[in-house]
Structure 1
């Protein structure tokens, strides 16, 4: 676990967020995604960076609320993509199975 992820988890515990309703955290995730979309649409690099960080914080708390370890989620995702092959199509990576 990264040091910052551990700090986020502790921050959530200190505020009893780890036991809060995950549905509310899911709504917070969509709020942060909207801010990211706005930053992208308006070419605001600082807003984009802040939003990505906020999304990671929200996902870390959501995973704790659901009893899922965020680092395990990342490891599972990486294991799934690490050998993935494909190609770029109109600026989007398309996995080989979908070509």
Structure 2
């Protein structure tokens, strides 16, 4: 199965959200939805259910796409900001977690 193009999927999510008025809804409520979805990922991982974890990751992407719209930006812009912050980051793995150099 070929993975769908991420940009096409994000664009479809935007259209879906606009059609339903979610782009103008309360970002604080969208943040609550994000925490709900993250909790579902954690529960799926705890059960070893990778299909549900994948679904949860996709749900988080949808929620973040909508949240970014609600605050007047885009998921692409936010991803670019985050990548520029980490692209040259150095650090090391500690107990299976990457710790940035400044925190070592």
What interval of TM-score do these two structures reach, taking the shorter chain for normalisation?
Answer: over 0.9
- 1:52-88 CA-partner distances (Å, limit 9, x unpaired): 0000000100110111211010001001111111110
2:46 pairs, out of 34, 41, 45, with: 41
Work out whether 1:98 is the aligned partner of 2:103. yes
- Taking structure 1 as the reference length, the TM-score comes to 0.95
- The alignment's C-alpha RMSD in Å is 1.1
**Which blocks of at least 5 consecutive residues in structure 1 are unaligned?**
none
Quote the Cα distance in structure 2 between the aligned partners of 1:87 and 1:21.
38
Match of 1:63 among 60, 68, 71: 68
- How many pairs align? 99
Alignment of 1:67-82 (within 5 A): 67-82=72-87
Structure 2 residue ranges without an equivalent (≥5): 1-5
1:53 to 58, 68, 72: 58
**Under a length normalisation based on structure 2, what TM-score does the superposition of the two structures give?**
0.91
Candidates 9, 29, 38, aligned match of 1:4: 9
